[in-house]
Amino acid sequence: MRAFISIDIPDEAAGGITEFQSGMRKQLGVSFAAADKLHITMMFFPDLDSNGLASLASNFSMLKFNRFKVSLNGVGLFTPRIPRVLYIGASSEHGEMQQLYKMMHSLALDKGINFDEKRFVPHLTIGRIKGHVNRIKLLNAIKRFEGYDFGSFICSGFSIKESTFVDRSTEYKDLFTKKLD
């Protein structure tokens, strides 16, 4: 199954993001993520089997990690030359998100679980760019939001979610949830 580990964005933090999306929707040809699907992807598993899921869940359930503050700021594109993803940057004050990722990464490696090895860049995907879009218009539209503060929230846990495509849309299903200390 396609699965990923996510930090979900609480409703109170999603409000400003959806307002931003509404304003941008009028200007650009971008397919925006629904408020209830906003999340930070920590790791992606292109083909996680039930044994891998059980191993991750078992080990994550014993994990000791404190809650931490996540700040959402700035807007960017992956990749700037041929933009496909519109995102908001995410950071934690003392590097907790990176530390949590390193623990997850080590665990997956130790257990031999296949995952996407792209460099971890904490971000929140807010939109996908499909087809042709005026790159200059897009860059100009997001330029004024480069350092914009979208707020913050306390990360109180993470989930392993299954991702399936249904009727040209992506559906997520929680498979495991870990509450942080």
Distance (Å, whole) CA 175 – CA 35: 20
User: pLDDT in tens for each of the 181 residues of the chain?
Assistant: 999 999 999 998 998 898 888 878 766 768 889 989 999 999 999 999 999 999 999 999 999 999 999 999 999 999 877 888 999 999 999 999 999 999 999 999 999 999 999 999 999 999 988 777 778 888 888 888 888 999 999 999 999 999 999 988 889 999 999 999 9
Q: Tokens 């495991």 belong to which residue?
A: 176
Structure tokens at 119: 């460099």
Residues linked to residue 69 through DSSP beta bridges, in sequence order: 154
Strands (E), the chain: 3-8, 30-32, 39-45, 68-78, 85-92, 123-129, 149-155, 157-166, 169-179
Dump pLDDT digits (tens) for 40-57.
Answer: 999 999 999 999 999 999
Residue 106 has a pLDDT of 96
State how far the alpha carbon of 63 is from the alpha carbons of 104, 113, 156, in Å. 10, 18, 13
Residue 25 has a pLDDT of 75
* Cβ contact 72:152 at 8 Å: yes
CATH of the domain at 48: 3.90.1140.10
Alpha-carbon torsion angle 28, 31, 36, 40, nearest 10 = -90
pTM comes to: 0.92
Residue 161 has a pLDDT of 98
* Residue of 38, 152, 151 whose CA lies nearest to 87: 38
| Catalytically active residues, by annotation | 39, 123
* Cβ contact 88:153 at 8 Å: no
Residue 23 has a pLDDT of 78
* Cβ contact 35:14 at 8 Å: yes
SS3 4: strand
Distance (Å, whole) CA 30 – CA 143: 16
Give the domain range for residue 144. 3-179
What total of structural domains would you count in the chain? 1
